[in-house]
Amino acid sequence: MIELHELTKRYGTKLAVDRLSFTIPPGVVTGFLGPNGAGKSTTMRMILDLDRPTSGRVTIDGRKYAQLREPVKYIGALLEAKAVHPGRSARSHLLWLAQSNSIPARRVDEVLALVGLQEVANRRSGGFSLGMGQRLGIAAALLGDPQILMFDEPVNGLDPEGILWVRNLMKRLASEGRTVFVSSHLMSEMAVTADHLVVIGRGRLLADLPMTEFIDRNSRSTVRVRTPQPEQLLDALSAEGIVPEPAADGAYEVVGGDAARIGELAAAGGVVLHELSPQRASLEEAFMRMTAESVEYHAAGDGAAGDGAAADGQADGPIAAWGAGWQQPSGGKRKKKES
Ligand SMILES: Nc1ncnc2c1ncn2[C@@H]1O[C@H](COP(=O)(O)OP(=O)(O)OP(=O)(O)O)[C@@H](O)[C@H]1O
């Protein structure tokens, strides 16, 4: 388990991480999301004692990183920056890491097999593709067989097969009872990998809750209805004050509607339906709505928070949509990128 208590990092006048407090529990995959510059890497670096907090603290199973004997056996990490000498082979890099952390050499071959790099284990890592480099970084993180794993953008540069492999690896590690903390810009991937989400914006905690709750709380649920008898449908629904909105493709949408009730009303009115489908927002839409106010840079002319942003995902949109379990980020209007 990793615990952050009021963790803060200031670089000169820049407040990169602002009093972050949250717990990363074992047994689940915890996703770490935030717009560019939100402070994710800085937070991860402080967890690993690579950056000194300005104030606040991090504990790993109740202890500070510096108090851990042989830390790689407690916590393994893949950070974005590659830390491998390009002239070294994958095997010699891992052997060097193993020797300096009293890990038996046979573990090197185990992790090479685990990440699928056996065949290139003796090649110079300088010639590795981005994806192979990621696999080597993951192998290094797993070397000490730690109970806690942290991955910053692990699927970066991986092909679809590699992405699937990382997804299954994360899930397996969590199912073994390990703590798995992972950041990614690939929302669709995060949506199917993480069980729990921690979202930050401008260094501050925006949300800390299960994935499904994050999406449900921060999205507009709608029911799509398609019929060859639109007038009869509108009549049938109006009996209960339901007013569908026409969608661009000829269907109708009922915001906050109950699909079962709509179906019953349509049936009672003898209305033929060609479609009746509840719509669930994607993680990307929910994320865009929630972080719209805390994005550090937007392209000039970027009206919405992104393609997935709902029309009402502005000013009080994401704030109003959240209950007591989240905090409003500091700062006012979005900053436009200067060109
Ligand atoms: N060494 C540093 N010196 C000064 N400012 C820094 C330093 N490292 C990070 N920052 C600033 O702190 C803020 C947080 O950066 P950080 O890299 O942690 O964000 P991030 O969420 O990981 O972003 P990204 O998703 O783009 O990787 C940014 O505004 C960044 O410019």
- Does a structural domain hold residue 336? no
- Does a structural domain hold residue 30? yes
Rg (CA), the chain: 24
Distance from residue 240's CA to the centre of ligand 1 (Å) = 52
Q: Is 326's pLDDT higher than 50?
A: no
Indicate whether 95 and 213 sit together in one domain.
yes
CATH classification of the domain holding 194: 3.40.50.300
Check: CB of residue 282 under 8 Å from CB of residue 192: no
ipTM exceeds 0.90: yes
Residue nearest to atom 2 of ligand 1 (CA): 11
Using alpha carbons only, give the angle 224, 250, 220 rounded to the nearest 5 degrees: 35
- State pTM to two decimals: 0.75
Query: What is the rounded CA–CA span in Å between residue 71 and residue 5?
Result: 20
Indicate whether 74 and 142 sit together in one domain.
yes
Q: What is the pLDDT of residue 189?
A: 85
The closest-lying atom of ligand 1 relative to the alpha carbon of residue 80 is: 27
Q: What is the pLDDT of residue 338?
A: 38
Dihedral sign for Cα atoms in the order 149, 154, 158, 163: positive
Using alpha carbons only, give the angle 96, 98, 102 rounded to the nearest 5 degrees: 125
pLDDT band at 337 (very low <50, low <70, confident <90, very high): very low
Indicate whether 199 and 229 sit together in one domain.
no
Nearest to 165 by CA among 125, 131, 123: 131
Nearest to 200 by CA among 21, 33, 23, 27: 33
Query: What is the rounded CA–CA span in Å between residue 222 and residue 256?
Result: 5
Residue nearest to atom 6 of ligand 1 (CA): 11
Query: What is the rounded CA–CA span in Å between residue 163 and residue 191?
Result: 13
Average pLDDT rounded to a whole number, residues 265-272: 96
Q: Is 40's pLDDT higher than 70?
A: yes
Question: 131-158 pLDDT, tens per residue?
Answer: 888 899 999 999 999 999 999 999 888 8
Distance from residue 39's CA to the centre of ligand 1 (Å) = 6
pLDDT band at 267 (very low <50, low <70, confident <90, very high): very high
Distance from residue 42's CA to the centre of ligand 1 (Å) = 6
- Does a structural domain hold residue 134? yes
Nearest to 72 by CA among 139, 143, 138: 143
The closest-lying atom of ligand 1 relative to the alpha carbon of residue 17 is: 14
Check: CB of residue 109 under 8 Å from CB of residue 183: no
Which residues line the pocket of ligand 1, CB cutoff 6 A?
11, 14, 16, 34, 36-42
Domain closes at, from 264, 284, 304 = 284
Using alpha carbons only, give the angle 68, 70, 76 rounded to the nearest 5 degrees: 90
Domain of 225, in residue numbers: 219-284
Indicate whether 58 and 94 sit together in one domain.
yes
- Does a structural domain hold residue 25? yes
Question: Could you give the number of structural domains in the chain?
Answer: 2
Q: Is 334's pLDDT higher than 80?
A: no
- Does a structural domain hold residue 325? no
Residue nearest to atom 1 of ligand 1 (CA): 11
